[in-house]
Amino acid sequence: MADEKNGGRLSDASDYSSEDEGTEDYRRGGYHAVRVGDTFKNGSYVIQSKLGWGHFSTVWLAWDTLNSDHLALMMELLGMMPRKIALGGRYSRDYFNRQGELRHIRRLRFWPLGKVLMEKYEFSEEDAVAMQDFITPILEFVPEKRPTAAQCLTHPWMNPVPRSLKASSSPRRLKEEEEEEEARDENRSKEKDEREAMEVGVGNIAIDGSELKTSAREGRQSARSDLRT
């Protein structure tokens, strides 16, 4: 809405006594009334204050909560950010108070990387500790304390690979391994069928042979009886 009192120019919020906006001048299909504390886009933005009135609408200051969430997740994983780092950025005051604590998020639920790996991803304690020892220094808040690439390559976690971890395979290699395993299963099945067929054949030969011997013996006995008669 245009501010007729100021000739349509943008007015400072301090010129007005209320942060809330009336609806008497709103038009159908236009903007709805906004109040401090309202949230938008599934809570991603929170209205902080009214900046003033423009020619067509009111100007509000909205806080991007996702940035604070990101900082909170970092500290829950790695511990509190050093005060010097927290307050050393251009926009630090937007996210941190004078003590270096998050301005908009009060409670943090600390979950160190080692516990994340064991509780969420079911790593063994040995592998979780080894991986945490490798990754945590890389994520250090103070850049000067982070290891170099050369130092990372010499870390024990890189060589040898923890015993319970297997090197990841590409999707193509995984498909090849599956096909090889299927071929081995098929060969084993064929060999089993051939052995069973061979055993059945040997059994038939043995049975036929004993029948022939019995028949010949009976024939000789019959011939002897005829001669005696």
Domain assignment of residue 47, given as a range = 4-64
Mean pLDDT, the chain, rounded, equals: 73
CA distance 90 to 98: 14
Average pLDDT of the segment spanning 99-112: 88
Average pLDDT of the segment spanning 183-210: 70
Phi, psi of 44, deg, nearest 5: -70, -30
Total structural domains in the chain?
A: 1
Give domain status of residue 80, yes or no.
no
Residue 168 confidence (pLDDT) above 90: no
- Specify the pLDDT at position 31: 59
Geometric angle at alpha carbon 66, from 129 and 97, rounded to 5°: 85
- Specify the pLDDT at position 65: 61
The listed range with the strongest mean pLDDT (137-146, 156-165, 213-222) is 137-146
Cβ-based neighbours of 128, under 8 Å, separated by 6 or more: 113, 114, 115, 117, 118
Give domain status of residue 198, yes or no.
no
Token digits for 58? Answer: 């009111």
